[in-house]
């Protein structure tokens, strides 16, 4: 039995959810989202929210149960609150700024890195060494943050590079004489 799958998904006030067969549609103050669930799970609206249950006891149905519940929960949270990922830039001369519809990154290369900002996400630079990626889709926010980090991941000797906020960078000792 799935510990994650058996708990119901609370639908906050201001958010409406409707179930049409295997499709779950959710509307909220930040927009609307929908997801088509696999055939091994069934979703129902109840008094305490949306409940997801497995159709049978096969291994695939049990695997999809918790996954489907988490995906539906993510779209409910996405249309009500949204998701954010914060990136920090460490290094002398490393900085970021918004120029038009691009994120310009100065990361120690001989050229600037221009990253086009997607239409469905919002990217801000409150400080030159901080990037905030926010949007409704958790997977998309994480993917774009990972693509920005991939330009210059933190290196273990000086810790220079782009890292997630709160990420621990394992530091190594340098050469000795």
Evaluate whether residue 1 is within a structural domain: no
pLDDT tens by residue, 3-20: 888 899 999 999 999 999
Q: What is the pLDDT of residue 22?
A: 92
Whether 78 contacts 136, CB under 8 Å? yes
Expressed as residue numbers, the domain containing 137 is: 83-164
- 92 and 154 in a single domain? The answer is yes
Where does a domain end: 80, 98, 116?
Answer: 80
* pLDDT for position 78: 94
Q: Tell me how far CA of residue 74 lies from CA of 4, 43, 101, 113, in angstroms.
A: 13, 15, 27, 31
Residue 2 falls inside a structural domain? no
Q: Would you say residue 160 lies in a domain?
A: yes
pLDDT of residue 177: 78
Based on the fold, state whether residues 73 and 90 are members of the same structural domain: no
Judgement on whether residues 20 and 87 belong to the same structural domain of the protein:
no
Q: Which of 80, 99, 117 is the last residue of a domain?
A: 80
Residue 176 has pLDDT above 90, yes or no: no
Shared domain for 93 and 158, answered yes or no, is yes
3-state SS track over the chain: CCCCCCCCECCCCCCEEEEECCEEEEEECCEEEEEECCCCEEEEEECCEEEEEECCCCHHHHHHHHHHHHHHHHHHHHHHCCEEEEEEEECCCCEEEEECCEEEEECCCCCCEEEECCCCCEEEEEECCEEEEEECCHHHHHHHHHHHHHCCCCCCCCCCEEEECCCCCCCCCCCCC
Q: Are 75 and 93 part of one and the same domain?
A: no
The band of 175, judged by pLDDT with boundaries at 50, 70 and 90, is confident
* Domain presence at residue 46: yes
Q: Convert the pLDDT of each residue in 118-142 to its tens digit.
A: 999 999 999 999 999 999 999 999 9
pTM for the full predicted model: 0.89
**pLDDT at residue 48, rounded to an integer:** 87
Q: Are residues 73 and 93 in the same domain?
A: no
Residue 21: give its domain's CATH number.
3.90.930.12
In a domain? residue 53: yes
Task: Say if residue 159 is in the same domain as residue 119.
Answer: yes
Q: pLDDT for 42-87, tens place per residue?
A: 999 988 899 999 999 999 999 999 999 999 999 999 999 999 999 9
- Most distant pair of Cα atoms in the chain: their distance: 70
Q: How many domains does the chain have?
A: 2
């Amino acid at each position: 039995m799935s510990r994650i799958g058996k708990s119901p998904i609370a639908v906050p006030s201001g958010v409406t959810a409707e179930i049409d067969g295997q499709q779950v549609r959710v509307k909220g103050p930040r927009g609307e989202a929908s997801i088509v669930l696999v055939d091994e799970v069934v979703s129902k609206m109840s008094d305490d929210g949306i409940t997801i249950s497995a159709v049978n006891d096969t291994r695939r149905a049990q695997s999809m149960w918790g996954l489907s519940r988490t995906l539906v929960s993510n779209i409910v949270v996405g249309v009500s609150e949204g998701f954010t990922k914060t990136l920090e830039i460490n290094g002398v001369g490393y900085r970021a700024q918004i120029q038009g519809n691009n994120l310009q990154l100065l990361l120690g290369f001989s050229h600037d890195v221009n990253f086009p900002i997607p239409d469905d996400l919002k990217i801000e630079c409150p400080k030159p060494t901080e990037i905030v990626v926010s949007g409704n889709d958790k997977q998309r926010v994480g993917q774009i943050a990972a693509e920005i980090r991939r330009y210059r991941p933190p290196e273990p000797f000086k810790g220079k590079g782009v890292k997630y906020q709160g990420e621990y960078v394992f530091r190594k000792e340098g050469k000795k004489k």
